[in-house]
């Protein structure tokens, strides 16, 4: 157990409250284990009818510490482990993915309040939930290609099922969505003003059988989703599952959107952009979420020890020079053989299982 996760029972609802505000509630292995233990405990407890996931209030209400639902995972630990034997990194992924799978298959209703930064690991605990509440503070992204990683925690499943080629665009660019855009794409089920969240949580704790009606009652019309203005051009420019063809389409297009998007892609890891495209291609055909998590675990266990992840963390998180030296530096340099190696199934005694 860890005090970075609070798991009280409020009325007839089990509460999972992330409580690591100085790190914007980024997940550690212990936090993932605590959440799984709580879910297992409540699964057979008739007094718990539903589960709510949010973040605890920041100490003294400090607004700088109230900006995050969950900013991701413990990236520094992953890089430090990846630079050695990778054991601790693999243990984190194994534990985190079991949590993701528990939430995806949970028999009781689940609600996530994505109020604030919801990225990486935060996406992994929000999207499996039956109800996903966005607000005017929501900042949703899977920005992993910028640090030589890929959109894991089920990203291959969720992003591949978005309309058009929106998932491929989000996976490669790491583009941030606001709450209205999350609703428009189906990533969120409801849009609430943040000042209505406490009322929603109180009412759900009292009558968890009425979650849908409560959220419907408190929801407000979402603002226009700006990303929809680009949906046709995104579908056209990101139509290919080959990164080189995507680059060519962007280079041939004379729009400001294409120019800016290409500039963004050139800051990302070519290797993990190719990994991401294959992840979504395979994920679209995955028959079960369990299959998806097993594949992502095999990929993650290898990527975390490769040059681009270690270099991306150095450039973005450690030295903060934001000048990663990717290797290979271009899409053409990333061979199909390398991608096949990264995606090869693990031996049975090393493979991920849901537990």
Residues 6+ apart with CB under 8 A from 95: 29, 32, 33, 36
37 belongs to the catalytic site? no
From the candidates 11, 14, 72, 73, give the one annotated as an active-site residue.
73
From the candidates 49, 96, 115, 144, give the one annotated as an active-site residue.
144
CA–CA distance, 156 with 151 (Å, rounded to integer): 7
73 belongs to the catalytic site? yes
Nearest to 29 by CA among 87, 116, 85: 87
164 belongs to the catalytic site? no
CA–CA distance, 17 with 93 (Å, rounded to integer): 21
Residue 27 gets which letter from DSSP?
Answer: B
- Show the tokens assigned to 101: 């799978």
Residue 57 gets which letter from DSSP?
Answer: P
336 belongs to the catalytic site? no
The H-or-E segment that residue 81 falls in is: helix 75-82
Residue 208 gets which letter from DSSP?
Answer: G
From the candidates 96, 152, 292, 308, give the one annotated as an active-site residue.
152
In three-state form (DSSP H/G/I as H, E/B as E, the rest C), the secondary structure along 279-338 is: HHHHHHHCCCHHHHHHHHHHHHHHHCCCHHHHHHHHHHHHCCCCCCCCCCCCHHHCCHHH
3-state secondary structure of 190: strand
CA–CA distance, 76 with 48 (Å, rounded to integer): 36
Strand positions, DSSP E, the chain:
5-6, 9-10, 13-18, 50-55, 68-70, 110-114, 117-119, 131-134, 139-141, 177-178, 190-191
From the candidates 120, 121, 148, 300, give the one annotated as an active-site residue.
121
Catalytic residue numbers, as ranges: 73, 121, 144, 152
């Amino acid at each position: 157990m860890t005090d970075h996760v609070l798991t009280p029972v409020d009325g007839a609802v089990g509460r999972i409250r992330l409580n690591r505000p100085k790190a914007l509630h980024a997940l550690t292995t212990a936090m993932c284990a605590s959440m799984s233990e709580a879910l297992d405990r409540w699964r057979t407890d008739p007094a718990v009818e539903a589960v709510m996931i949010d973040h605890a209030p920041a100490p003294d209400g400090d607004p700088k510490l109230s900006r995050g639902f969950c900013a991701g995972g413990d990236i520094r630990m992953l890089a430090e482990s990846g630079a050695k034997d990778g054991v601790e990194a693999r243990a984190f992924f194994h534990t985190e993915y079991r949590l993701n799978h528990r939430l995806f298959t949970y028999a009781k209703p689940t609600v996530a309040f994505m109020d604030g930064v919801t990225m990486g690991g935060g996406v992994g605990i929000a999207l499996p939930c039956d109800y996903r509440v966005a607000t005017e503070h929501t900042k949703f992204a899977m920005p992993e290609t910028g640090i030589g990683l890929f959109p894991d925690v089920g990203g291959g499943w969720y992003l591949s099922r978005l309309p058009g080629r929106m998932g491929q665009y989000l996976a490669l660019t790491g583009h941030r969505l606001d709450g209205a855009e999350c609703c428009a794409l189906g990533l969120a089920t409801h849009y609430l003003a943040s000042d209505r969240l406490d009322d929603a949580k109180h009412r759900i704790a009292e009558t968890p059988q009425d979650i849908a009606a409560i959220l419907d009652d408190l929801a407000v019309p979402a603002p226009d989703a700006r990303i929809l203005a680009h949906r046709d051009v995104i579908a056209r420019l990101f139509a290919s599952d080959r990164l080189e063809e995507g680059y060519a389409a962007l280079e041939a297009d004379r729009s400001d959107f294409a120019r800016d998007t290409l500039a963004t892609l050139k800051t990302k890891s070519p290797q993990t952009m190719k990994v991401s495209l294959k992840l979504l291609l395979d994920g679209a055909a995955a028959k079960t979420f369990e299959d998806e998590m097993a594949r992502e675990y095999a990929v993650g266990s290898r990527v975390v020890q490769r040059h681009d992840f270690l270099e991306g963390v150095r450039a973005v998180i450690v030295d903060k020079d934001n000048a990663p030296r990717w290797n290979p530096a271009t899409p053409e340099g990333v061979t199909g053989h390398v991608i096949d190696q990264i995606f090869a199934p693990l031996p049975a005694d090393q493979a991920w299982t849901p537990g």
